[in-house]
């Protein structure tokens, strides 16, 4: 119970502060409404078109490509940190988890080559060209 008490205390204080801030804001905040407040708002710009208009598919292609390459970078980062750390890849080789350090490097290079092939494919398909 001694180990979990600080965590419970932190959760209770965080919940109390959150509820308190929302309550105080509702009590002392301004309550004026008008035509400007009722108007739709999008990134600081007045809306010019209908809200149900279709997005160009290129927007989605760029967004998905960004997410894919971002996630692939997140997979490469731990490998880079583990390869520099004495308790990383060398410890895995010594513990028998991995056969050799070269095998880990080869796996990372295969992964990186797949990233490059994906990037080249997207480039050839014109995903990065914004028309």
Helix H, strand E, coil C: the string for 33-77 is CCHHHHCCCECCECCCCCCCCCCCHHHHHHHHHHHHHHHHHHHHH
Examine residue 89 and state whether it is found in any structural domain, yes or no: yes
Give me the tens of pLDDT residue by residue for the chain, a chain 131 residues long. Answer: 788 999 999 999 999 999 999 999 999 988 888 887 777 766 666 666 666 777 677 777 778 888 888 888 888 888 778 777 767 777 877 888 878 878 888 888 898 898 889 888 888 888 777 76
Examine residue 37 and state whether it is found in any structural domain, yes or no: no
In this prediction, residue 17 carries a pLDDT of: 98
In this prediction, residue 8 carries a pLDDT of: 95
In this prediction, residue 42 carries a pLDDT of: 65
Tally of domains in the chain: 1
Cα distance between residue 92 and residue 37, in whole Å: 59
Examine residue 21 and state whether it is found in any structural domain, yes or no: no
82 lies in which domain range? 57-125
Closest CA to 117 of 60, 68, 62, 79: 68
In this prediction, residue 51 carries a pLDDT of: 65
In this prediction, residue 47 carries a pLDDT of: 65
Examine residue 82 and state whether it is found in any structural domain, yes or no: yes
In this prediction, residue 19 carries a pLDDT of: 97
Examine residue 3 and state whether it is found in any structural domain, yes or no: no
């Amino acid at each position: 119970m001694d180990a979990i008490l600080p965590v419970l205390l932190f959760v209770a204080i965080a919940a109390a502060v959150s509820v308190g801030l929302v309550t105080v804001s509702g009590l002392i905040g301004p309550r004026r409404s008008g035509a400007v407040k009722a108007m739709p708002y999008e990134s600081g710009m007045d809306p010019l078109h209908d809200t149900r208009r279709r997005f160009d598919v290129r927007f989605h292609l760029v967004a998905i490509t960004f997410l894919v390459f971002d996630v692939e970078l997140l997979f490469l980062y731990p490998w880079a940190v583990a390869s520099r750390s004495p308790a990383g890849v060398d410890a895995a080789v010594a513990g028998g988890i991995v056969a050799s350090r070269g095998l880990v490097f080869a796996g990372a290079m295969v992964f990186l080559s797949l990233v490059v092939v994906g990037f080249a494919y997207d480039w050839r398909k014109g995903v990065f060209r914004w028309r």
